[in-house]
Structure 1
């Protein structure tokens, strides 16, 4: 667990430090409550200014703690445990970044909210690479650290073009989806197929509900629990079912090798 925490904490701290310089002053980010359909409650403190969109971040923490502390996979190897713990720490650290963005509406947490999305999606192909290669042929430095570093650096495209982040994020999402479908066809069964479909549906809900946040707010059903709120619920489910899919695939591969 210590090595997984170190893997996540070191780049996290470096990104926080860089985001608080003037390096990303040219990045297009939203810094007002008008960006969200949920109405601000003036009588509440800033960390609960939009109660639903703020408190939904607790779901990331609960989900991350479950996969970090309480889930124990059957036949889990040292490397598989490392991959699971890294992913769980990513969820745990992503929650306060999103919450801070809503609380203070400053550029640094808004940049970090975008930036950290990239290595999270990039970890899916990394974990799949571990499953496909097997523990004996998988090396953390070349097969995990290098792709994650490239993912972190790719956020620099946001400095070049106003749509740079959207382009890079689209590539990350597409690569994660392609990797998941490919490994399912090669190693999956009915259970992993179900997890993959649920993860894909959650990903679609995350994207669509977020984009339609203001349009959905025209309807009473989405005026308190807004599209943005439900998109975050979908994001947590996307995380969770990705865990389910990847751990189940890893167990299936390990058991097959033992037979």
Structure 2
């Protein structure tokens, strides 16, 4: 747990420091209420001023705590536990950032909200690479390098107004490609269903956020807006990613154990 906490908290603190400098002053982020279709309720405290968009962040906390404390088997390897705990801590760290962005509508949390999305997506191919590697051949250096590249890719925002969208799109494609490859090698009908639901949730996360204002023209989306349902989809894709990766991680481990037993 300590190793996972340090792996998440140290880069997080570095990002917090950098977003509070003038490094990202040129990055286009939306800092006004008009960016969100949900209307602020001024009678409520600032941290609940957009009650639905704010409260949905509890979902990240619930998913993060569930998978952080999840332990269905005593045979889970330490490295596999580390992979799970890092991903769970990412969810727990992300929730207050998004919540703060909605509360204060300032540049630093808005930039941090975008930036942290990238290493979260990057952790999926890192975890998959660990599952695919033969026992004893996994090197943490690969995961650290991929996460570093992910963090540095946010620098695209300094080169082009759509830099974040380009970086995020590349991360999504990389994560989905790695997941499909793992499914084709080791999956079954159950994991295929989970993967399909995760991909659909990811699509909902992107599309519903983009259509936030357009959907608000309809009564159904005036309080529970497109942005709210986008975050619901994001929470779901977190949970489904955990289900997919833990299930296939256990299966690959069991298959290797059986193969080793037959060889003996």
CA distance in 1, matches of 2:31, 2:12: 22
TM-score, scaled relative to structure 1: 0.98
Question: What corresponds to 2:230 in structure 1?
Answer: 231
Question: What corresponds to 2:153 in structure 1?
Answer: 154
Alignment of 1:134-145 (within 5 A): 134-140=134-140, 142-145=141-144
The total of aligned residue pairs comes to 258
Question: What corresponds to 1:178 in structure 2?
Answer: 177
Question: What corresponds to 2:70 in structure 1?
Answer: 70
User: Would you identify which runs of 4 or more consecutive aligned residues in structure 1 move more than 4 Å?
Assistant: none
CA distance in 2, matches of 1:87, 1:70: 12
CA distance in 2, matches of 1:79, 1:38: 42
Question: What corresponds to 1:200 in structure 2?
Answer: 199
- Displacement of 1:135: 4.0
Question: What corresponds to 1:91 in structure 2?
Answer: 91
CA distance in 1, matches of 2:256, 2:52: 46
Question: What corresponds to 1:20 in structure 2?
Answer: 20
Structure 1 unaligned runs (5+)?
none
CA distance in 1, matches of 2:243, 2:150: 23
Question: What corresponds to 1:118 in structure 2?
Answer: 118
Question: Contact between 1:199 and 1:241, CA under 8 Å: does it hold in 2?
Answer: yes
- Displacement of 1:254: 0.5
CA distance in 1, matches of 2:66, 2:115: 24
Deviations 1:161-195 (A, max 9, x none): 00011001100000001000011101111121111
Q: CA RMSD in A?
A: 0.9
CA distance in 2, matches of 1:104, 1:80: 37
Question: What corresponds to 1:10 in structure 2?
Answer: 10
